[in-house]
Amino acid sequence: MSIDTLSEEVLNRLSLMLDNATCGWRQLASAVSEVPKFRCSEIDLTNCSLQVLKPEGSSGRTLLAWLADRSCSLDFLLHCLRKMDHQEAVQYLTPTAVAETIQIQVQPQAQQATVGSRVVLTCRAIGPPGLNYQWFRGNEEIVDETGSTPELVLCPLAPCHQGHYICRVNHGEKCIFSQWAHVRAVYSAGFSPGCSSSLFPGSVSGLRIIQQPQSQAISEGDTLLLECKAEANPPAQYEWYHDTVIISQQKTHSLKIPCVTTAHRGQYRCKVFNLYHKCWSDTATVTIGPSSITVVSWEDVIDRGQDVQMPDGQKVDSLNIRPQEVTDQPLLAKRFYATDKVALLIGNMNYLYHTQLCAPIADVHELTNLLRQMDFKVVSLLDLNWQEMHSAVTEFLLLLDKGVYGLLYFAGHGYENYGNSFMVPIDAPASYTSEHCLCVQNILTRMQQKETGLNIFLLDMCRKRNPNDDIIVQPGQLKVTANIVFGYATCVDAEAYEVKREDVSNGIFISFLKRRVCEDEKVTVMLDRVAEDMGRCEITRGRQALELRSNLSERRALTDQIQASECSASYSARNLQWAVAHVLPKSHYIKFDCGVTVQLGFAAEFSNIMVIYTRILEKPKEIISCSAQLTDFPEDVDIDLKKSNQETLLEAGSLLLIKENLPSPEDPSLYTRIRSLQRLRRELSFTVCLHYTYSSMDEEIQERQPVTVGKPLVSKLNLHEPRPPRAWSGSSSLGLDSFNVPECSSFAECSTSVGSLSNTWSCDVKIGRDFSTTDSPSSSRSVNIPEETDSPELINAPKPLVVSKSLPLSRVNDSNYKFSDLYN
């Protein structure tokens, strides 16, 4: 059982025991770190310690809540408390935990029966092994042989058995009581003094199932019908269970579920009971496969005079065909594939004229890593104006082709008018209209022209009506492609929320989506489960509910594998086009006149945000202090000068790239975070300023060297420039002429730069290779490692930083994170 099963009273009492310096929450945090997923970062520990500044804050309570969020078990908590020798907490929690785990599932029921009949009172509980049952009538304990079992049998029932009964379930010193059950004995003519051997003689009670539910194999969209009938006196009542979970609103002998999905597969049982007895039906196993092809409205086919194509290729006149001749054909389950998978993620936070948002930075970052685990080529961008959003969508469409899965996620301000959804850029005026925003339906129209295999839109924004906009936008004609999925974070005319916290946190939608998005289920089934999770959450109930709109007719999932054999040329071209937008500069090693060697390293936080770090690799012995700072950046990019050249990533403003161990004083590193790379109009140039002091001198000396690192990441696409109108072909195949790569004299130059740094991303492109030569699909799960040169003299240099770890789900909790572990 998890920690979150403990009552609030127990958690508060336990947190008081942990709020001390000698044997408290810090020691507990150290003890639980033996399991990687429970290892606290410096930010987590700081957050716990700062709770003492709040009037009712508790560091211990915050740590317990942090462990509960990661599903820490009660048994492991007790193990760690014993490990740190916290005797008081162990003694308190052990009996308390036992009491919390005892739960009565079946309560004894009030009964009325004839004298001489057989009455059974049942009390069943779950909990630790060795539960004991004690039965009482009033204040008197029943101590006969049947008194220590879950069932108390009164046979033959006598007038002296009348009264109120209760059961005590205990384990050691801890116990809980059942509800009271009243037993009443009545007389009937001709009753016999012994137990009746027949079920229903006269007015004697009984229960017998005469029809059991049957196992079934059906398809998605079909109707599930299970029946369980019983003969009983008094009349029977019914409860249906799906995988041990009761199905509410199903209280009859028939269970009927129309239009089933894969979520309905599993085992079903029926509990049949009356006032005196109960029994369980047999278990019926329900399997649900792909949806079957059903022939609908044959009258329409006949009226239109169309021919019907038979499976063997023959055409049969529609007036003479029978529906059975088609529906009886065998149907084979089909596994779907993508020719490629591409995602564009936009998070707008820092609006110029509207409310600032906090969550998109964490939402985009977490969704990026999850999608990369499923082999998506992801472009993640923060804080775009109208022109940049428009250009980013245009470049995104260049990556699409026939059979490609395209996913667009937007987190920020938005609205919906007349059924059209609009994404608001950061430079939208206070009274913005549709001309200042991007229409999602227009993007869908352009995606359909590429004959994509799946179009997914996840819109984490408000859908209130915009009173300033009376224009009815007419998007292009949509095709009936049956491959469109819209996941709205909230309902029509409602708002989407984020939780305001001092540190990085997700919005409501991503908080639930990230738990489900990697499930190997049809996209709509996965989003349905997200909606159910949101519906069970107290904080979202009545405020925000996910809305799903879809015409997806096939069982396509985000986890579908990529099969690019039929279009290897366009697949490789897409790899190259995508890689151009994700090139990190290679590491620079700068030698100063004083003998100091400085390393420049680069790491990507997003496609348009980069972190540069400086590290002293060598320095003469006579230099006692030395640091390398960056300055003179171009005005195009966004840099907070107060947070530049900081000793930690947190101080530099990077809340998502967290380093586990800080550098030693002998090996200092400074970090500078560069934002808005999409606005860079020329090559990124800056100055490395070396500050050092000799042991024989008091004054500090400076040396400066200019550095140019080219156009990193998405800056190479020049999103700040308007895009010319394009003629979109229905099934175009990407070629080199379709790329928009400014400032390259030839595409070979871009290929060279991409190839030299391809270890950062999933594609490996090198001069002289055929474009069809690419890495395996799993290569997109590689980590971001800043480029370093394998020079013999640098073998003992500090290890490179690791950025944007993207591990398979099975290894997430088993790895020791180093540099960029996602917060929370």
Catalytic residue among 40, 123, 437, 462: 462
Residues in the chain: 824
Run of H or E including 101: helix 87-101
Q: Are 343 and 458 within 8 A, CB to CB?
A: no
The span from the CA of 48 to the CA of 36, in Å, is 19
The span from the CA of 394 to the CA of 719, in Å, is 9
Q: Please confirm, yes or no, whether 365 is among the known catalytic residues.
A: no
**Residue 263: CB partners within 8 Å, gap ≥ 6?**
525, 528, 529
Q: Are 521 and 555 within 8 A, CB to CB?
A: no
**Residue 697: CB partners within 8 Å, gap ≥ 6?**
none
Output DSSP code: residue 484: E
What is the edge-to-edge ordering of all strands in the sheet holding 547-550? 377-382, 340-347, 404-411, 454-460, 484-488, 547-550
Structure tokens at 118: 């057989």
Q: Are 215 and 284 within 8 A, CB to CB?
A: yes
Catalytic residue among 86, 171, 242, 413: 413
The span from the CA of 341 to the CA of 212, in Å, is 47
Output DSSP code: residue 85: T
Q: Cα angle at 88 between 84 and 91, to 5 degrees?
A: 100
Helix 25-32 × helix 8-18 angle, to 10°:
100
Q: Please confirm, yes or no, whether 413 is among the known catalytic residues.
A: yes
Q: Are 131 and 101 within 8 A, CB to CB?
A: no
CA-nearest of 69, 87, 84 to 2 is 69
In terms of Cβ atoms closer than 10 Å to its own Cβ (0-12, 13-18, 19+), residue 552 is middle
Query: Which amino acid is residue 694, in one-letter code?
Result: Y
Structure tokens at 472: 């009815």
Longest dimension (CA), the chain: 118
Output DSSP code: residue 528: H
Quickly list DSSP for 589-603: EEE-TTS-EEEEEEE
In terms of Cβ atoms closer than 10 Å to its own Cβ (0-12, 13-18, 19+), residue 320 is exposed
In order of 144, 578, 785, 817, the CA distances from 764 in angstroms are 79, 11, 14, 25
**Residue 145: CB partners within 8 Å, gap ≥ 6?**
none
Which is it for strands 206-211 and 224-227: parallel, antiparallel or unpaired? unpaired
Query: Which amino acid is residue 678, in one-letter code?
Result: Q
- Convert 638-671 into a string of H (helix), E (strand) and C (coil): ECCHHHCCECCCCCCCCCCCCCCCCCCCCCCEEE
Residues annotated catalytic, as ranges: 413, 462
